[in-house]
Amino acid sequence: MFFYILIFLAILYLWWRWGAQDGQKIRDLTDKYIFITGCDSGFGNLAARTFDKKGFRVLASCLTEAGAAKLKAATSKQLQTVLLDVTDPDNVRKVAEWIKAEVGTAGLWGLVNNAGIMGPSAPTDWLNIEHFRAPIEINLIGLINVTLHLLPLVKKARGRLVNISSTGGRLAVCGGGYFPSKFGVEAFNDSLRRDMKAFGVKVSCIEPGLFKTGLSNRKKIIEEREVIWNQLPPAIRKQYGEGLQRSDRSFMCHLALSA
């Protein structure tokens, strides 16, 4: 008798698991819009192509016309591109209005904040405020501004929002604006997640480690560091020594935590 009860419970469990998985399937993809920033290359480009293949209505923003044209050529007619510089408030506002017109009453089912840069990174006393500014403006301030403009549409769809951070949002190993910007993304994500819970909006944060993207381009890292080194006051260069600039150890932090 006990044996039959176990079989019954096992069948009941398997039936429950099947039902739970079936309930997680996303249905009617053609009326679900996803907006992704930073789709010229890297994670954003891959995400746009992947969601397009699955049948979602993808709205992909690119920084350059060349990036937009290349993405369009590799995807279906359903995917739409738009040019967006997340540091330009007027551009962000206009793109948000365009998205609102596109999604209509359906709202925005998904928002993926992916646009970002590494920016120059080196020992802190090699840098000036401009070296910090661009990564923070793009990776953090731009991300927040895009979110604020599109949040009403995400709430309307009871959708989901994904912020692309980095392992560098948990551990900073170099000077520069990249790591402070990613720590900021983590904090913004935490507060937004709590704020949106009552509205049925899911907020997630992805923390990639080392991937081969434009952000971890070894040649570019070396060139940027050499430009900074060559502009340093003689006293700073003397303190660090000429050999440090050319050693692999001087830029390993980039390759360890690039995302």
- What are the residue numbers of the active site? 178
Enumerate residues 6+ apart whose C-beta is below 8 A from 164.
43, 112, 113, 114, 116, 185, 205, 206, 208, 259
Amino acid, res. 144 = I
Give yes or no for a contact between 82 and 37, defined as CB atoms under 8 angstroms apart. Answer: no
Q: Tell me the CA end-to-end span of the chain in Å, nearest whole number.
A: 57
Q: Residue 212's CB: how many other CB atoms inside 10 A? A: 9
Name beta bridge partners: 35. 59, 111
Answer for the pair 259, 164: CB distance below 8 angstroms, yes or no: yes
Question: Can you tell me the distance from the alpha carbon of 91 to that of 72, in angstroms, rounded to the nearest whole number?
Answer: 21
